[in-house]
Structure formats: structure tokens, C-alpha cells
A and B are shown apart, each in its own frame.
Chain A
Amino acid sequence: QMEMQESGPGLAKPSETLSLTCTVSGGSINTRSYYWGWIRQPPGKGLEWIGNYYFGGSTDYNPSLMGRVTISADTSKNQLSLSLNYVTDTDTATYYCVRAKGCYVEYLGVVTLSACHMDVWGKGTPVIVSS
């Protein structure tokens, strides 16, 4: 059974770079069948998609993060990483790593492989941004 475990500093200062790691066990992240991503949830609020990583290094990010985010993977360690630059208090949230099933999505007549429903979630790691 696959498990995902987030880790990283629970506290970051404004304008710093937040770095989180997700260690995956029970299966390899080096697969064409799944995407790997990050979701966050501010205290008492809803879920926000941050971005996805796919086999070979392709990525897709939420434009709302304005180029501050990078998702990468170390396949030798079976780990996924998140880097978020220039954090502010609005980045305070619980951060979840997720596995998303790869599936074919059709739009305007074009079919592409895409990240679909998220079937495995880590327990989440809380991050507070404060000086």
C-alpha cells in the first residue's frame, strides 16, 4: 500500500524560500501511470492545487502562485520536492503531497495525458509563515 509523508520546517520567515519534501513508500514515483503533486489548505479554509510533476520532469503549476513555485523529484530517493519562493503570511497552510492518476482528457478535440483524480494523500505538514 502506497504511503506519502511530507516533511520540512514548520516555520518560515516572510520573503524566504519554503522547501518541503515528500517521501513515497510502497511504489515508485518513476512511473508513467501517475502524476505527483502538492495541494495546500490554509487554516479553516478550502483546498488549493499547487502543481504537478510527471515522469521525465514535466510540470504544471497554478498561475496564482506567479512563478514562485518549483516541483521536482529525486527518483533515486523516491522523493518529491516543493520549493516556494518569497513566502508571505498568505502561504501559511497545511501542505499535502498527492498521487494523481494519469488519464486521457479531451478538450477542443485534442486528447492529452493529464493528472486526474488524487487517490493517495499524505497526512500533511503545517507551515506557518511569520517573522
Chain B
Amino acid sequence: EIVLTQSPGTLSLSPGERATLSCTTSQRLVSTYLAWYQQKAGQAPRLLIYDASTRATGIPDRFRGSGSGSDFTLTITRLEPEDFAVYYCHQYGRSPRTFGQGTKVEIK
């Protein structure tokens, strides 16, 4: 099983600041089979990024995914009030599919 480790666990930032979230996989992904999801309290997760760097339909361009191999990053270039949420990475290159434990982006 591929284990995904996200860091930091919590990120305390102010609106307008830049957020950098990390996801490290225990085994190198052969290709960029990695997605990012956003989950707000009481809601289902929402797909943000797939194939490591492709934004899903309707996702603003302030969300940027990058990385390959074992190290992946989600960057939110300028935080908007609605971006404060929990973010999960997810690998789909191998079964079982696995998720990171999540990074909470909270208002400072």
C-alpha cells in the first residue's frame, strides 16, 4: 500500500497570503497519478486538481498543483475567505487507492 504523508497538519494564514501544502508518497508514483480535494465542514470533498497539475472544471487558477515522483505540492497563490478548509491528496496509480491524512488551512 502506498502511504501518503501530508504536511503541515495545520496551516494558519491570513486571507491574501500564499499557502503551500505538501504530499509525500511512500513509493514513487510512476506517473502523475495524484489528485487534490478540498473539504469544507459538513460537506463532501470536491476535486481540485488531478494528474498532479490539471485543474478540475470550474476551479480558479489560484489553485496550482505540481510535483512528480514522490513529492507533490498544492499551492494556493492568494487565499480567499472560502479557501479555508481541509485539503487531501489522493493517489490512484496503485490499488488500494489511498489518501493523505489531510492539511487544515485555518484563518490566522
A43 CB to closest chain B CB (Å) equals 12
Given contacts A105-B31, A119-B47, contact A47 B92 (CB under 8 A): no
Given contacts A96-B44, A121-B45, contact A116 B50 (CB under 8 A): yes
Given contacts A105-B93, A121-B45, contact A48 B31 (CB under 8 A): no
Contact of B30 among A48, A107, A121 (CB under 8 A): A107
Let me know if A63 and B35 touch, CB within 8 A: no
Let me know if A114 and B44 touch, CB within 8 A: no
Let me know if A49 and B97 touch, CB within 8 A: yes
Let me know if B31 and A121 touch, CB within 8 A: no
Residues of A within 8 A of B84 (CB): none
Contacting residues of chain A (6-35) with chain B, CB-CB under 8 angstroms: none
Let me know if B93 and A107 touch, CB within 8 A: yes
Whether a CB of chain B sits under 8 angstroms from the CB of A129 is no
Provide the A114-131 mask, 1 if CB < 8 A to any CB of B, else 0.
Answer: 111111011110000000
Residues of A within 8 A of B33 (CB): 105, 116
Whether a CB of chain A sits under 8 angstroms from the CB of B98 is yes
Given contacts A49-B98, A121-B45, contact A116 B88 (CB under 8 A): no
B45, B88, B102 — which one has the most chain A CB atoms within 10 A of its CB?
B45
Let me know if B96 and A47 touch, CB within 8 A: no
Given contacts A63-B96, A64-B96, A115-B97, contact A121 B46 (CB under 8 A): yes
Whether a CB of chain A sits under 8 angstroms from the CB of B62 is no
Please report the C-alpha to C-alpha distance between residue A13 and residue B50 in the assembled complex, in whole angstroms: 38
Please report the C-alpha to C-alpha distance between residue A49 and residue B33 in the assembled complex, in whole angstroms: 15
Q: Which residue of A lies closest to B86 (CB)?
A: A46
Q: Give residues in B with beta carbon < 8 Å to A.
A: 1, 30-31, 33, 35, 37, 43-47, 50-51, 56-57, 88, 90, 92-102
4 A-B pairs closest in CB distance: A117-B50, A121-B44, A49-B97, A117-B35
Q: Give residues in A with beta carbon < 8 Å to B.
A: 39, 46-49, 60, 62-64, 96, 100-101, 105-107, 114-119, 121-124
- Could you show 30 A-B contacts with beta carbons less than 8 Å apart? A39-B45, A47-B37, A47-B90, A47-B99, A47-B102, A49-B96, A49-B99, A62-B97, A96-B45, A100-B92, A105-B33, A105-B92, A105-B93, A106-B30, A106-B31, A107-B30, A107-B93, A107-B94, A115-B97, A116-B50, A117-B56, A118-B47, A119-B47, A119-B50, A119-B56, A121-B44, A121-B45, A123-B43, A123-B44, A124-B44
